[in-house]
Amino acid sequence: MSNPSATPARRQIVWPSVITVVSAAILIGAEVFGAAFAGGWALAILFGLDTFGSHVLQAVLFALGVVVMIGFVRGAQRVEPFTRRV
């Protein structure tokens, strides 16, 4: 049986870590998504695509940017944990 008087460990948010990761994500996200749109536009011109093709290419690169950003935030959270046990 479990001990009824034992309380589960509380978790506290580590705000400096959260602010650091969010700030870095904003900076890197601006670069990643800006590169996705500019790269889609440039590649569409290079390959002679029309406006629709340009938008499709930009959407694909944007989706790739989302994957990159998710990976960045997950990796950063491992280095800078958002919570700690109190």
Name the pTM for this structure: 0.78
Q: What's the CA gap between 46 and 53, in Å, rounded?
A: 12
Q: What's the CA gap between 10 and 86, in Å, rounded?
A: 5
The verdict on residue 1 lying in a domain is no
The verdict on residue 4 lying in a domain is no
**Given this model, what pLDDT does residue 1 score?**
56
**Given this model, what pLDDT does residue 8 score?**
74
Which range marks the domain in which residue 81 is found?
Answer: 11-85
The verdict on residue 6 lying in a domain is no
The verdict on residue 64 lying in a domain is yes
The pLDDT averaged over each successive group of 10 residues in the chain (86 residues) is 68 94 95 95 96 95 96 94 91
Counted domains in the chain: 1
The verdict on residue 59 lying in a domain is yes
The verdict on residue 53 lying in a domain is yes
**Given this model, what pLDDT does residue 2 score?**
60
Question: Rounded to whole angstroms, what are the CA distances from 12 to 24, 62, 73, 75?
Answer: 22, 34, 19, 20
